[in-house]
Amino acid sequence: MIQSRSAREVIFLLSSKIVNHTLLALFLSLILAACGGSPSQPEARTLTVYAAASLTDAFTEMGSAFEASHPGVTLVFNFGGSQNLRTQIEQGAPADVFASANAKEMEALVALDLVAPDAPRVFLTNQLVVILPKNNPAGIASLEDLSKSGLKLVLAADEVPAGKYARQILENLGALYGADYSDKVLANVVSNEDNIRQAVTKVQLGEADASIVYISDAVAVPELQKIEIPADMNVIAGYPIAVLAESANSDLANEFIDYVLSSEGGATLRKWGFTPVGP
Amino acid sequence: MSQLRKSFFHSKLSPVLEWLFILPSLLLLALLALPVLALLWRAGADGMFLFITQPSAMAALRLSLVTSTFSVLIAIATGTPLAFVLARRKFLGKTVLELLIDLPIVLPPSVAGIALLIAFGRQGVFGTAFNSLGITLPFTTTAVVLAQTFVSAPLFVRAARIGFAEIDHQIVEAAYVEGSNEWQLFRFLMFPLAGRAILSGAILAWTRAIGEFGATILFAGNLEGVTQTMPLAIYLGLERSLNIALALSTVLVFVSFLLLLITRRLENHKNRSANR
């Protein structure tokens, strides 16, 4: 009994010490947080850019260049399916710039007054291409082969801009390969991915036999085999970019957009397989 | 002595100290409860719950029920023997083995998904062998079941192992002396005695399987009626139709609550019978 009481005392002492220390630490961190209100470096600014997944490589490279020429500025990117990013912005995500892979998602934000009507500017065009794993396990040799039954095809979901473009192209190709071509190809789809890069990865891993992705995606993963889509059957995807109406850094945001539209930005876009609209 | 301690432990603290404990508790309770309440309110107030009858919602619901049931059955059929061995036998490397079995419980589901893809994908480390037999796993309903089993079976094994370990050895010895053979000991004595733990483990595993998301989307992909379970339909449906996402979320909240209630009742019953 004596033993149990002393054990209790020890535990009580220990726990009270821990509690006291925790409270002290909390108190101190509150004071520190209150003092931290005035930043030591007034120039430190963060620009948050929401961009279509297909822009991942090009924008990451442009971001580094922009940071280098703007000391104190940090760029934070959120790459994803444009429809996904649009939903996040609608729900109040703190973005400064939005670059979409189609006009639809941008127009949705304009309709909600989240983007000023005259703000969006189309800064590049992109086209699509069929990609195959490097060893082409299904032996696909032509666009027509995509309708052979038993293939494992992965597309971006219908809600994703690239997925919508791909389905549009399949409709267009019906003129060459018969009215049921699109249905036959879509019957081979084994997964509708949330953004285009997920589809690229599934082909790159060899898990899927083919996908229809942006030419720029195929540039980013050079080991993939490609089948070109005839120009008159292809879709020209215009990417708009805009500063968000509620951006706290609209000046900096516009500077970044100007950089994307500049000849230097255009060179980076071209390097990654896009067709820049600017100079 | 124990009476005294208990009454001290359950007594109120001084008013100031009392609020020092209550206020942070309320903050956390608000964080835990408000999102779920808001979800139910939106789903109920706007009649969004009715969207559960949409074909794509029904397809996701049906697929989730079928795949999670299969996952739990696999967990029971293979996990019970494993738990029994782990509870009864001591061997070299047992601790490491138990850690490995528990690992998927704490592993991020996306890691589980990539690991499954690298192992059993068509070009995977073991997948190429399956492929030569004409079996491809990714993008199939089987892949959904595998992903769910991978993340949920460890919960079952853990619960069943503890259930078997808690059985009073003297009872087993007595039955053995009375002439029961080893199969009879397992089938009519130890399995029923651990039954409650096995059942609550199975329900926990089922809850986890129904909620599986990350491993499924990476390993099994997303196709309505084939691999698009409820969590996938919620995530991807958010962009298409908030209504369907809300309706499915409501179903998942209720199902999870119900399953949790059942496990709690099972555990309470066990504690009561243990105290008797």
Render pLDDT for B197-237 as a digit per residue (tens, 0 to 9).
999 999 999 999 999 999 999 999 888 889 999 999 998 77
Same domain, A71 and A144: no
In a shared domain, residues A148 and A178: yes
Q: Does B240 touch chain A (CB under 8 A)?
A: yes
Question: SS in 3 state form for chain B?
Answer: CHHHHHHHHHCCCCHHHHHHHHHHHHHHHHHHHHHHHHHHHHHHHCCHHHHHHCHHHHHHHHHHHHHHHHHHHHHHHHHHHHHHHHHHCCCCCHHHHHHHHHHHHHCCHHHHHHHHHHHHCCCCCCHHHHHHCCCCCCCCHHHHHHHHHHHHHHHHHHHHHHHHHCCCHHHHHHHHHCCCCHHHHHHHHHHHHCHHHHHHHHHHHHHHHHHCCHHHHHHCCCCCCCCCCHHHHHHHHHHHCHHHHHHHHHHHHHHHHHHHHHHHHHHHHHHHHHHC
Task: Report chain B's terminal Cα–Cα distance, integer Å.
Answer: 20
pLDDT of residue A20: 60
Would you say residue A18 lies in a domain? no
The B residues from 136 to 195 touching A (CB cutoff 8 Å) are 136, 138-139
Best A205, A209, A211 member to test B by mutation, with max B CBs in 10 Å, is: A205
C-beta atoms of A206 and B236 within 8 A: no
Does residue A196 share a domain with residue A63?
Answer: no
Domain range for A97 is 45-125+238-276
Which chain A residues touch B117 with a CB distance below 8 Å? 205, 207
Same domain, A249 and A121: yes
Chain B CB contacts of A102 under 8 Å are none
Residues A121, A135 share a domain: no
Per CB-CB distance under 8 Å, the chain B contacts of A133 are: 123
Which chain A residues are closer than 8 Å to B119 by Cβ? none
Report the chain B residue with the minimal C-alpha distance to residue A159: B240
Pairing of strands A189-193, A153-156: parallel
Is residue A97 assigned to a domain? yes
CB pairs under 8 A between A and B: 55
Could you tell me if residue A57 is inside a domain? yes
Do A245 and A266 lie in one domain? The reply is: yes
- Which tokens hold the place of A61? 């490279």
- Partner-chain contact A1 B122, CB within 8 Å: no
- Which of A159, A202, A206 is opposite residue B239, by nearest beta carbon? A159
Dist. CA B215–CA B112, nearest whole Å: 5
pLDDT at A26: 61
Q: At what angle do helices B195-211 and B242-275 cross, to 10 degrees?
A: 170
Cα separation, A191 vs A198, whole angstroms: 10
C-beta atoms of A207 and B121 within 8 A: yes
Position A25 scores a pLDDT of 61
pTM value > 0.95: no
Strand partners, A132: A225
Query: B53 touching A, CB under 8 A?
Result: no
Nearest to A206 among B122, B139, B227 (CB): B122
CB-CB under 8 Å, A152 with B136: yes
Q: Do residues A157 and A205 both lie within one domain?
A: yes
Closest CA–CA distance from residue A190 to any residue of chain B (Å): 6
Same domain, A117 and A168: no
In a domain, A13, yes or no: no
Residue A5 lies in a domain: no
State whether A207 and B222 contact (CB < 8 Å): no
Residue A1: list chain B partners with CB under 8 A. Answer: 1
Domain check: are A246 and A220 in the same one? no
- Specify the CATH number for the domain of residue A72: 3.40.190.10
* Pairing status of strand A128-132 against strand A211-214: antiparallel
Q: Say what the pLDDT of residue A37 is.
A: 46
Burial B118-148 (b: 16+ CB within 10 A, else e): eebbbbbeebeeebeeeebbbbbbbbbbbbb
Please give the Cα distance from B146 to B229 (Å, whole number).
13
Q: Which of A227, A249, A267 is the last residue of a domain?
A: A227
CB contact (8 A) between residue A191 and residue B227: yes
- Those residues of chain A whose CB sits closer than 8 Å to some CB in chain B are 1, 81, 83-84, 86-87, 133, 137, 152, 154, 157, 159, 189-194, 202, 205-208
Q: List the pLDDT tens digit at each of the 279 positions of chain A.
A: 344 445 455 445 445 555 566 655 665 555 555 544 444 454 788 999 999 989 999 999 999 999 999 999 999 999 988 988 998 898 888 899 999 999 999 999 999 999 999 999 999 999 999 999 999 999 999 999 999 999 999 999 988 889 999 999 999 999 999 989 999 999 999 999 988 888 999 999 999 999 999 998 888 888 999 999 999 999 999 999 999 998 999 999 999 999 999 999 999 999 999 999 866
Q: Which residues of chain B have pLDDT under 70?
A: 1-8, 238-240, 270-276
- Sign of the dihedral through C-alpha A92, A98, A100, A105: positive
Does B114 lie at the interface with A, CB-CB under 8 angstroms?
Answer: no
| Residue A142 maps to a domain | yes
Number of domains in chain A: 2
For domain B51-275, give the fold.
MetI-like fold (1.10.3720)
Residue carrying the six token digits 């220390």: A21
Q: Where are the domains of chain B?
A: 51-275
Q: What is chain A's length?
A: 279
pLDDT at B88: 86
Q: Are strands A153-156 and A121-126 parallel, antiparallel or unpaired?
A: unpaired
Compute the nearest-CA separation of B226 from chain A (Å): 9
